[in-house]
Chain A
Amino acid sequence: AQKITQTQPGMFVQEKEAVTLDCTYDTSDPSYGLFWYKQPSSGEMIFLIYQGSYDQQNATEGRYSLNFQKARKSANLVISASQLGDSAMYFCAMREPEYGNKLVFGAGTILRVKS
């Protein structure tokens, strides 16, 4: 069964607008971690934001925020005030202690910011 689902293969957003990238996950482990990474065409995986399963508040890092809905098993990334440099592939990933703490990635969403 797929552990991490990103249903949006590609997204467009107008510069300076906000965009939400969807991520749902599946786990029976009560302790897990959720990550979002950005991968530009250069290939480097850039860490954006982290949410632990026991964290009471939604994570925020600058223009990035995570809309964490635990009961729905969703962890959507919200990028505010989009910039041209935000154009990249975005991956949602989950770490599960039950499976040796492996980091498993979703299929990714390609984001294109339009000027």
Chain B
Amino acid sequence: DTEVTQTPKHLVMGMTNKKSLKCEQHMGHRAMYWYKQKAKKPPELMFVYSYEKLSINESVPSRFSPECPNSSLLNLHLHALQPEDSALYLCASSQDDAGTYGYTFGSGTRLTVV
């Protein structure tokens, strides 16, 4: 299995909703990442988990809450989002936290906040 699987592929949520994005990989990778990508812009790093511990938080608002229950799974919990949080959310993984052997990305979750 050489994939990063993200669910759901599309999500529409209200500003008072709570939802979660899920990311899964079975490649034995020990680092996992969340990126946010606005339309026609490059991805921007949000969080890095290394060996199941949060190692980088790029000053992301607390309405985004990451969780790494185990080495294969990464969640992003969403609460009280704003319309400007609408974006493509990409998950990635790498064999080590140095990205020595490259990064594998999922196909993303397209989030719309209404």
User: How many Å lie between the Cα of A95 and that of B108 in the bound state?
Assistant: 21
* Interface bits B48-60 vs A (CB < 8 Å: 1, else 0): 1000000110000
Report A1-28 residues with CB < 8 Å from chain B CB.
Answer: none
Question: Within 8 Å CB of B103, what residues of A?
Answer: 35, 47, 103
A44-B102 CB under 8 A given contacts A100-B48, A100-B56, A103-B45: no
Offer 22 A-B interface pairs, CB within 8 angstroms, sorted by A: A35-B103, A43-B88, A43-B110, A44-B105, A44-B107, A44-B108, A45-B90, A45-B105, A47-B102, A50-B102, A95-B98, A95-B99, A100-B55, A101-B99, A102-B45, A103-B33, A103-B92, A103-B99, A103-B103, A105-B43, A107-B42, A108-B40
Residues of chain A touching chain B, judged by Cβ–Cβ distance below 8 Å, are: 33, 35, 37, 42-47, 50, 91, 95, 97, 100-108
